[in-house]
Structure 1
Amino acid sequence: MTSPTETETRAVTVLHAGQMDYTAAWARQRELGRMRSAGTIADTLMLVEHPHTYTFGSRPKPEQLLVPHETLAAQGVALVEADRGGDITYHGPGQIVGYPILKLSRYGGDVLRYLRMLEETIIAALAGYGIAGERIAGLTGVWVGGAKICAIGVKLSASGVTQHGFALNVNTDLRFFEQIIPCGIADRGVTSLERVLGSAPPRAEVEARVIAAFGRVFGAQME
C-alpha cells in the first residue's frame, strides 16, 4: 500500500504512556482528540500497555464473554464497554496498544482505507522479524498462520479525528483469550510474537519497528 499523496510534511508526535488503566487511557484519548480537533496539538500516536482488561465494542454482545463476572473479579480483570467498532477483545501485559489521534482528512479521509493502513503498518513491522503477516478477506486485523496477532478497532469523531487503534501481541498471556470469543470470531486462534518466534523480542525494539513502519505507511515524520 502506498503512502498518502498529500505533499506537505506530516508530523506525528509519539507519546509513550507506559502502563495505564484502560479507562484512564480512554479519557486521555478523548482529551487528545479534543485538542487535535481544536488544532492545538499535532497528530499523535499514543503507545500504551494495559493491565488485564476485556473491552466490548460500541454494540456489546455479552455472549462473547465465556466466563461469569465473578471469575473476572477473582482474576482482577476489568470489563469495559468502549465506543470503538468491533467485538470483544483482551488487553493486557505484553501487548503493544497503539492509539492514533489523527485528522483523517490528511490521510485520505476514508475509514476503510485507514484500517488497511493500520494493518499494513503491523505487517511491515512483523516483516522485520521475518514474519509474514497477512490479511483475511472480510476480517479486520493482522494474522499469522491463520491466527490473529493484532486486533484493530477504531472510531472517527464528528470532527474527523481518529481514536482507538491496534493491539499487537508481543508476549501476551494468550490464555486470557480463551475466556472470550476474540473479536467475535470463534473458529480462529490468537497468537503472539513470542509464540511465533519462540521467544519475545524486547518491547522497546518492537515499538521502534512499529513507529518506523507507521511513519512509512502514513508518510509521516515521527517525532
Structure 2
Amino acid sequence: MNIVDLGLIGYAEAEAVQMQTLKSVTTEEQENTVYLLEHPRVITLGRQGGAENLHVDEQFLQSQSIDLVKTNRGGNITCHFPGQLVAYPIWRVEKRPGGMKKFFHDMEEAVIQTCAHFGVATRRRPGHPGVWVDEARKICSMGIGVKRWVTYHGLALNVGRDVSLFNMITLCGIQGATPTSLSAESGHDIAMKEAKHVFADEFRKAFADSALASSKTA
C-alpha cells in the first residue's frame, strides 16, 4: 500500500486528488493508496443529508470563512478542521475477505489501536460507524463512497483539543453525541505528526491481509 501525507489541503482539492487516484486504483495502474491530511474549516453533508442538523445559516458560515459542502460519501453531517487527522483510503475491496463490513471494521481497528497507543481506551458503537470513548463521546467519524468496488472518502480522527466547530452541528445527526479528541482524553497535547505516524503503522497492520487476499484470488 502507498500512504501519502498531503498536509493541510482544501476539501475540493483533496477530493480532486481522490477522484484521480480512484481511476488509477480501479484500473490497477496504481496500488491501494491512503491519503493523510488536515482540512481548513469545512462542514460536509453526506448522502443521507444533514442540513437539518446544521445550527447556523450559510451566511454566518461565509462570514467565518467556513465552507459548506455536499458530498457523495455515506453518513450525515460532520466537520473538518486543522487538528483533525483525516484519512482517505482509495482501496480495492472486491478481493478482501469480508467485503465492506470488514473494511469498516479494519478502519475502526486502526483508529482504536492508534488511540490505545496514546493511552485512550475506545470502542465501537453498534449501529453507528466510527469510534467512541463511551456511548456519548465520539472521537472518530467515518463515511465512505464506493465506485466499482473501490472506496474513497474515509475517516476523521480528532487529535487536537479544539473541537469547537462541532458546536455548529448535531454530530453525525446523532442526538446526545458529543465530540472529544485524543489530546483531551489523554490529558496532554498530541502532535499531528506523531498521530499520523502511529495511525499509518496501525493502518498497515489492520490492512496487512489485503495483499494476501489479492494474491489468493488472482
Into which bin does the TM-score normalised by the smaller protein fall? over 0.9
Unaligned stretches of 5+ residues in structure 1: 1-11
TM-score normalised by length of structure 2 = 0.92
Answer 1 or 2: higher relative contact order, Cα 8 Å, separation at least 6: 1
Comparing 132-141 and 196-205, the one that deviates more: 196-205
Kept in 1, the 8 Å contact 2:118–2:182? The answer is no
CA RMSD of aligned residues (A): 1.6
1:180-199 to 2 correspondence within 5 Å?
180-199=169-188
SS at match of 1:113: helix
Unaligned stretches of 5+ residues in structure 2: 211-218
**1:93/1:176 CA distance change after superposition, 3 Å:** same
1:127-206 to 2 correspondence within 5 Å?
127-146=116-135, 147-157=137-147, 159-171=148-160, 173-206=162-195
Kept in 2, the 8 Å contact 1:92–1:172? The answer is no
Structure-2 residue corresponding to 1:7? none
Match of 1:97 among 78, 86, 95: 86
Comparing 113-122 and 81-90, the one that deviates more: 113-122
TM-score normalised by length of structure 1 = 0.90
Kept in 2, the 8 Å contact 1:123–1:142? The answer is yes
Structure-1 residue corresponding to 2:17? 28
Comparing 212-221 and 12-21, the one that deviates more: 212-221
Kept in 1, the 8 Å contact 2:39–2:82? The answer is yes
SS at match of 2:15: helix
> After the TM superposition, which parts of structure 1 deviate over 6 Å for at least 4 consecutive aligned residues?
none
Deviation at 1:105?
A: 2.1
Counting aligned pairs with the same residue, the percent is 33
Structure-2 residue corresponding to 1:214? 203
1:23-62 to 2 correspondence within 5 Å?
23-62=12-51
SS at match of 1:210: helix
SS at match of 1:107: coil
The one-letter amino acid paired with 2:31 is A
Structure-2 residue corresponding to 1:115? 104
Structure-2 residue corresponding to 1:84? 73
Supply the distance in 2 between the matched residues of 1:97 and 1:69 (Cα, whole angstroms).
24
SS at match of 1:105: coil
Supply the distance in 2 between the matched residues of 1:86 and 1:61 (Cα, whole angstroms).
9
Structure-2 residue corresponding to 1:3? none
SS at match of 2:6: strand
The one-letter amino acid paired with 2:12 is T
Kept in 1, the 8 Å contact 2:138–2:179? The answer is yes
The number of aligned residues is 210
Kept in 2, the 8 Å contact 1:121–1:210? The answer is yes
Supply the distance in 2 between the matched residues of 1:59 and 1:129 (Cα, whole angstroms).
33
